[in-house]
Amino acid sequence: MNKRKIIMDCDPGHDDAIAIILAAARQELEILGITTVSGNAEIEKTTMNALKICDLVSLTDVIVSKGASGPLVRVRETAPGIHGDTGLDGPELAEPSRSWSGEHGADTMIRLIKESEEPVTVLPTGPLTNVALALAKAPEIKDHIEEIVLMGGGTFGNWTPTAEFNIWADPEAAKKVFDSCIPTTVMGLDITHQAMASQEVIDQVNQIDNKVAKIVGELLEFFAETNKEMFDLDGGPVHDVLTVAYCVAPELFKMKEVNIVVETKGEFTAGTTLVDLHGVTGRERNAKFGLELDVEGFWNLMFESLKKY
Amino acid sequence: MNKRKIIMDCDPGHDDAIAIILAAARQELEILGITTVSGNAEIEKTTMNALKICDLVSLTDVIVSKGASGPLVRVRETAPGIHGDTGLDGPELAEPSRSWSGEHGADTMIRLIKESEEPVTVLPTGPLTNVALALAKAPEIKDHIEEIVLMGGGTFGNWTPTAEFNIWADPEAAKKVFDSCIPTTVMGLDITHQAMASQEVIDQVNQIDNKVAKIVGELLEFFAETNKEMFDLDGGPVHDVLTVAYCVAPELFKMKEVNIVVETKGEFTAGTTLVDLHGVTGRERNAKFGLELDVEGFWNLMFESLKKY
Amino acid sequence: MNKRKIIMDCDPGHDDAIAIILAAARQELEILGITTVSGNAEIEKTTMNALKICDLVSLTDVIVSKGASGPLVRVRETAPGIHGDTGLDGPELAEPSRSWSGEHGADTMIRLIKESEEPVTVLPTGPLTNVALALAKAPEIKDHIEEIVLMGGGTFGNWTPTAEFNIWADPEAAKKVFDSCIPTTVMGLDITHQAMASQEVIDQVNQIDNKVAKIVGELLEFFAETNKEMFDLDGGPVHDVLTVAYCVAPELFKMKEVNIVVETKGEFTAGTTLVDLHGVTGRERNAKFGLELDVEGFWNLMFESLKKY
Amino acid sequence: MNKRKIIMDCDPGHDDAIAIILAAARQELEILGITTVSGNAEIEKTTMNALKICDLVSLTDVIVSKGASGPLVRVRETAPGIHGDTGLDGPELAEPSRSWSGEHGADTMIRLIKESEEPVTVLPTGPLTNVALALAKAPEIKDHIEEIVLMGGGTFGNWTPTAEFNIWADPEAAKKVFDSCIPTTVMGLDITHQAMASQEVIDQVNQIDNKVAKIVGELLEFFAETNKEMFDLDGGPVHDVLTVAYCVAPELFKMKEVNIVVETKGEFTAGTTLVDLHGVTGRERNAKFGLELDVEGFWNLMFESLKKY
Ligand SMILES: [Ca+2]
Ligand SMILES: [Ca+2]
Ligand SMILES: [Ca+2]
Ligand SMILES: [Ca+2]
């Protein structure tokens, strides 16, 4: 079987962690490497969390490289209100068995893409700083990226009324990605809010009897609480997991080809994605945008994958 | 009975026209004056249309004053794709029986507010240029305005992916209004899209046997077609009519107090309203925002009012 | 003799006051009206100061109309550090013999321009709010304005590193004026800093034996002190006076036709004028810009004019 | 003698080339490495030019690393009107004897700074992309940079009315440098325009009888012509050379400590440096800014250095 080669560029983060867990369970994917970025928490924490999750799911021979410690140009902001102080509050996880690679995340991304015989899919689930740095240093990798499947943006916001956290945290990096002409697929809030880990979902996860599922249950419970508190949501939307699910089962997703640009200059709107659903701007299509999720299919994929552990 | 004193500041426009028709039918309201603005069409056309509608509903002793011929600072843009060349394409309307007042719309607004013994409610249903000019010339009127009930903005856009036409057409004017500290009530696209004049609605209007209802039916038919073509909507949302309906029957509206600011500086986002539904910005509440419409109640109000003609 | 018809739109202000004094002394000019604006001080103060100066130079039959109390869109800022609390600190001036007209400054400007048989020259020496309001209300006056000769902008700033006070105080209004296609002549800081009222100049003014000259001497002394303190200048540059001098004696001025645009959007640069001296932008010329003043000729004009009182 | 360790980050470019030539002649400096950036010409050309100049002055054991091929976020622009198609038109230079290092310029900068026992001075004379990338990847190098002495910005512009080319070409990178808290010294247009290579200067260079001086003479002649044509200057200002001269002979420079910020958001002003010479902004000082050059001393330093070849 020809596995799809992926690089996971993430800031774990509860949903990033579950995204790694899902990916590690899937035969359809080969994780070439994991690169971390500052976002939900500081870079030291997101890197530590990535290493811990790799141990949990036995990804110990996959390279983990620490990437950017802050956005390209702006001041760093994190999201402790959602992910807790460690960036992954909730479950108890053992200290990692190893350290990160010593190579910068952006360099690992460049190297893995260049070394791969087949085109590589990049799955950014944090701010897009590493991807932007990689494109800045080695623009020639564009031709060897099959697709960028990212979590970010949407037609509405969470961190501001119009901006989603990942794009808001580094708008210039996001602009660079959307302007890059690489095939880009976007899981924005419109579709990720459909993947709400309700109490019912958590209950089903908790019925799966293995250590990984137990941890996932604890992650979802913590995440549901903070999302309730901060955004008045009924459960935590497992945003980042959709990027992995899309690579495995695209048939669960109703997508639309649209133009997306990122605002970097506004007084109030920096980090806003303008998703041109109705073609009113006349700008060329440059992204596939997630409209509708087969919610039942998605959760079944999750449950089935967790049972493999 | 103590009638609520209103000034209608509009750019007719199909939905502006129906808003005037509804207001003229209601005993609860006293229309002090109508001021026109460039928006859906050029100022000469919107003024002509206002005069024609006044004739239609016998508002011949209400002053009609021509206002701003373009936005405060930016270049003028109109919306012929939605409202046709005249700004009110569809029905045949007789030439108006009189001319406009000769007083500038902003001056009429200032004068009527100052002359009124009771505080006045202003209903802007076009770009906010006249209101901004009135506030610029006579900031002291603020204390004599009971409420501004405007159509504009929303958590999504129509003219751009994030901006609604009225705000987009004059963002600086809108900013001035939202920063004014006058009690402001906002009918944005979120709620106006609930007031969709579907074929079923049009059929019911057409069953009302009087000249005014016949004209309204023709307006709605034209409007439904262009909204179908341009925005792929199932009927025309009678946006502006909600400002009048709210003054008459606020119980039909579920509102939320929020902070709203207007972006004037972005590369792509000028004219975007940031409606802080979840209080994530920490900015003070400065507006009531329409969330949910009692759709049946609203149309019944319309039908009942049209039957009075 | 055919006098040039002028309207002085000002925010006195020491240099505005001297500009009025110079204009009143000149046979070549007919002052149709004086309109005031918020700028150096609040509108009540600048209006009061204009009335006092009119009394001083017997301009008691020239209309004085109070205009805008703040900028078009932004928050009002004044300049007490330069002009003192009254906006005209220094000399003792009698209470004015009359009140302002009761007509808004922008309306007076519109009316006087429309009533004049000959085209009118407008001399704005404060923020451009009144001119912008007049253009917004009555764009048709453009064709009846011979020239706008304004003090504002330059290739460097005083209020910020790149912005001059008058433009900075209302960038949107300035943008409207520069985009208006009216022939515009600009006395920016580049040339007004050449008109420095040094101690030597003040001494010569003080040798002129009349009441008006005595007041001018006191104005210049106060102005020199605050300019020394705030900008480390050797004397006060009588910025606004150059607009009047240019109308009387254009041969004293070396001008260049250039393109000028006004920044309204920057994070740090709102109110900056971009004066394209070397044609690097490719944008069309829209203004005459003051490069070099015949300094001796200018002061001689001043001295000679003051001696007429 | 304790030599000052420097890294030259450049886009040769006539004045960059002469800066390298001056540095190579000086015993006071040790060139640790040369990194190239896209700017005056495309990255392939500026790298080729750096290699050629290294050959000319026998810097064959100094690493030359190719850096960024375009700005951090924006679209690349070059300056062929000033530097010709090759980026170094004028003299005939032999093909380089070697290729670039294979390490990215930003990585070379990081490595050399980390490897050096003493703090390193960085001399950027092109757009600041490489420095920004180095700071993004390895913020910890800040503490090991003694000083950044850069050519860029000023109180007026050349590429736009308010922006100088190097800053304008990558405003976001420049912002990152000025916000970095590294001691920064700025040779802006205010002082570099004092280092004008007039015909008299060129004549003196041409009287120095060696190959390097002959090439410098040819570079200056080409540069004078294009500067005459494009900016109407009397000779070419050898902007970049001042960064080297300052490291060797700071006594030739009158400097002022000021605050400098970079505009990244304006409609017309992106890339403008706001140099707060008079402290009007209240922002903290973050740079030394070049005010006045001992012109004779500067050229004598040049002549004397060229005679060493
Ligand atoms: Ca994430
Ligand atoms: Ca309307
Ligand atoms: Ca003034
Ligand atoms: Ca250079």
Q: Is C68 in Cβ contact with B106 (below 8 Å)? A: no
**What residues does D293 pair with on adjacent strands?**
D253
According to DSSP, the β-strands at B120-124 and B145-151 are parallel
> Do the beta carbons of residue A146 and residue A117 sit within 8 Å?
no
Task: Given the cut 0.90, state whether the ipTM is greater than it.
Answer: yes
Q: Does the annotation mark A193 as catalytic?
A: no
> Do the beta carbons of residue B287 and residue B185 sit within 8 Å?
yes
pLDDT at D271 over 90: yes
Provide mean pLDDT across the span C80-92: 92
Select the residue from C159, C190, C259, C272 to test the D interface by mutation, using most D Cβ atoms within 10 A: C272
Spatial CB neighbours of A28, under 8 Å, sequence gap ≥ 6: A1, A3, A4, A247, A248
Chain C residues whose beta carbon lies within 8 Å of the beta carbon of residue D256: none
> What pLDDT is recorded for position C231?
87
CB of D81 within 8 Å of any CB in chain C? no
Q: Which chains touch D (3 or more CB pairs under 8 A)?
A: A, C
- Opening angle at CA B194, ends B191 and B197, nearest 5: 130
Which of the 8 DSSP states describes residue B232? -
> What pLDDT is recorded for position A80?
85
Spatial CB neighbours of D10, under 8 Å, sequence gap ≥ 6: D16, D19, D20, D34, D35, D36, D37, D46, D50, D123, D124, D125, D126, D240
CB of B264 within 8 Å of any CB in chain A? yes
> What pLDDT is recorded for position C163?
98
A28 to A33, A249, A305, B37, D62: CA distances (angstroms): 15, 10, 12, 60, 48
Which of the 8 DSSP states describes residue C144? G
> What pLDDT is recorded for position D60?
96
Ligand 1 center to A132 CA (angstroms): 16
String of DSSP letters for chain A: --PEEEEEEE--SHHHHHHHHHHHH-TTEEEEEEEE-SSSS-HHHHHHHHHHHHHHTT-TTSEEEE--SS-SSS-----HHHH-TTSS-SS--PPPSS---SS-HHHHHHHHHHH-SS-EEEEE-S-SHHHHHHHHH-GGGGGGEEEEEEE---SS-SSSSSB-HHHHH-HHHHHHHHTS-S-EEEE-HHHHTTSEE-HHHHHHHHTS-SHHHHHHHHHHHHHHHHHHHHH--SSEE-TTHHHHHHHH-GGGEEEEEE-EEE--S-SS-TTBEEE-TT--S-PPP-EEEEEEE-HHHHHHHHHHHHHT-
Nearest ligand to the C-alpha atom of residue C125 = 3
Q: Is C69 in Cβ contact with B73 (below 8 Å)? A: no
pLDDT in tens, D20-74: 999 999 999 999 999 999 999 999 999 999 999 999 999 999 999 999 999 999 9
Residue entry with tokens 């952006």: A106
Residues 225-244 in B contacting A (C-alpha not used; CB under 8 Å): 230-232
D48 CA: distance to closest CA in chain A (Å): 18
Q: Is D133 in Cβ contact with A136 (below 8 Å)? A: yes
In single-letter form, the type of residue at position B187 comes to: M
Q: Is A274 in Cβ contact with B263 (below 8 Å)? A: no
Question: Considering CB atoms only, which of B70, B73, B107 is closest to C172?
Answer: B73
Provide mean pLDDT across the span D240-250: 98
CA distance A196 to A179: 31
Chain D residues whose beta carbon lies within 8 Å of the beta carbon of residue C264: 267
Distance from the first to the final alpha carbon of chain D: 21
CB of D66 within 8 Å of any CB in chain A? no
Provide mean pLDDT across the span D83-92: 93
pLDDT in tens, B34-74: 999 999 999 999 999 999 999 999 999 999 999 999 999 99
Ligand 3 center to D150 CA (angstroms): 39
CA distance A139 to C215: 69
> What pLDDT is recorded for position B71?
97
CA distance A8 to A64: 10
Provide mean pLDDT across the span D108-127: 98
Q: Is C137 in Cβ contact with B133 (below 8 Å)? A: yes
Q: What percent of chain D lies above the pLDDT cut of 70? A: 100
B235: left (phi over 0), alpha (psi -120 to 50) or beta: left
Nearest ligand to the C-alpha atom of residue B10 = 2
Q: Is B139 in Cβ contact with C70 (below 8 Å)? A: yes
Continuous segment of H or E residues that includes residue C255: strand C253-258
CA distance C65 to C69: 12
pLDDT in tens, C245-282: 999 999 999 999 999 999 999 999 999 999 999 999 99
Question: Considering CB atoms only, which of A232, A267, A281 is closest to B161?
Answer: A281
Q: What is the rounded radius of gyration, in angstroms, for the C-alpha atoms of chain C?
A: 18
CA distance D256 to B291: 57
pLDDT at C183 over 80: yes
Backbone φ and ψ for D248, nearest 5 degrees, come out as: -85, -45
Provide mean pLDDT across the span D127-132: 98
Q: Is D278 in Cβ contact with C232 (below 8 Å)? A: yes
| Annotated active-site residue in D14, D83, D104, D239 | D239
Q: Is D281 in Cβ contact with C263 (below 8 Å)? A: no
pLDDT at A21 over 80: yes
pLDDT at D1 over 80: no
- Opening angle at CA C126, ends C121 and C129, nearest 5: 85
For residue B74, give the nearest of A266, C148, C179 by alpha carbon. C179
Which residues lie near ion ligand 1 (Cβ < 5 Å)?
A 11, 13, 16, 125-126, 240
pLDDT at C232 over 90: no
For residue A257, give the nearest of A158, A208, A203, A186 by alpha carbon. A186
Ligand 3 center to B9 CA (angstroms): 35
CB of B258 within 8 Å of any CB in chain C? no
> What pLDDT is recorded for position C1?
63
Spatial CB neighbours of A73, under 8 Å, sequence gap ≥ 6: A172, D72, D73, D132, D172, D175, D176, D264
CB of A266 within 8 Å of any CB in chain B? yes
Lowest mean pLDDT among A135-144, B38-47, C224-233, D185-194: C224-233
Q: Is D129 in Cβ contact with A264 (below 8 Å)? A: no
Chain B residues whose beta carbon lies within 8 Å of the beta carbon of residue C175: 73
Spatial CB neighbours of A11, under 8 Å, sequence gap ≥ 6: A36, A37, A38, A39, A40, A41, A46, A87, A125, A126, A127
Ligand 3 center to C58 CA (angstroms): 21
> What pLDDT is recorded for position B10?
98
| DSSP E strands, chain D | 4-10, 29-36, 63-66, 120-124, 145-151, 184-187, 196-197, 236-237, 253-258, 260-262, 273-275, 287-293
> Do the beta carbons of residue B246 and residue B272 sit within 8 Å?
no
According to DSSP, the β-strands at A287-293 and A253-258 are antiparallel
C308 CA: distance to closest CA in chain D (Å): 39
> What pLDDT is recorded for position A1?
64
Q: Is C155 in Cβ contact with D278 (below 8 Å)? A: no
Confidence band, pLDDT 50/70/90 cuts, at residue B81: confident
Q: Is C276 in Cβ contact with D161 (below 8 Å)? A: yes
For residue A145, give the nearest of A191, A115, A113 by alpha carbon. A113
In single-letter form, the type of residue at position C247 comes to: C
Ligand 2 center to B12 CA (angstroms): 6
| DSSP E strands, D131-284 | 145-151, 184-187, 196-197, 236-237, 253-258, 260-262, 273-275
Q: What percent of chain C lies above the pLDDT cut of 90? A: 95
A157 CA: distance to closest CA in chain D (Å): 22
Provide mean pLDDT across the span A244-269: 98
Tokens representing residue D115 in the block: 């490897």
Residues 100-139 in D contacting A (C-alpha not used; CB under 8 Å): 104, 106, 129, 132-133, 136-139
Question: Considering CB atoms only, which of D72, D136, D175 is closest to A68?
Answer: D136
pLDDT at B305 over 70: yes
Lowest mean pLDDT among C63-77, C78-92, C130-144, D55-69: C78-92
| Annotated active-site residue in B14, B104, B144, B239 | B239
Task: Return the residue of D nearest to A265 by Cα.
Answer: D265
Confidence band, pLDDT 50/70/90 cuts, at residue C73: very high
CB of B162 within 8 Å of any CB in chain A? yes
Q: Is B159 in Cβ contact with A162 (below 8 Å)? A: no
Spatial CB neighbours of C29, under 8 Å, sequence gap ≥ 6: C3, C4, C6, C23, C244, C247, C248
Cis peptide before D81 (omega within 30 of 0): no
Tokens representing residue B225 in the block: 């077609």
Task: Return the residue of B nearest to C177 by Cα.
Answer: B73
CA distance C90 to C222: 6
Tokens representing residue A238 in the block: 């497992």
Helices (H) and strands (E) in chain B, counts: 12, 12
CA distance D73 to D163: 18
In single-letter form, the type of residue at position B124 comes to: P
C285 to C255, C257, C258, C265: CA distances (angstroms): 13, 6, 5, 22
According to DSSP, the β-strands at A287-293 and B63-66 are unpaired
Lowest mean pLDDT among A2-16, A78-92, C9-23, D265-279: A78-92
- Neighbouring C-beta atoms of residue B97, cutoff 10 Å: 10
pLDDT in tens, B130-183: 999 999 999 999 999 999 999 999 999 999 999 999 999 999 999 999 999 999
> What pLDDT is recorded for position D2?
85
CA distance A84 to A102: 26
> What pLDDT is recorded for position C2?
86
Tokens representing residue C15 in the block: 């240099």
According to DSSP, the β-strands at A4-10 and A29-36 are parallel
Provide mean pLDDT across the span D215-220: 97
| Annotated active-site residue in A104, A144, A239, A278 | A239
Longest dimension (CA), chain B: 52
C292 to B63, B107, C273: CA distances (angstroms): 54, 43, 18
Would you please indicate which residues of C are annotated as catalytic (active-site) residues?
239
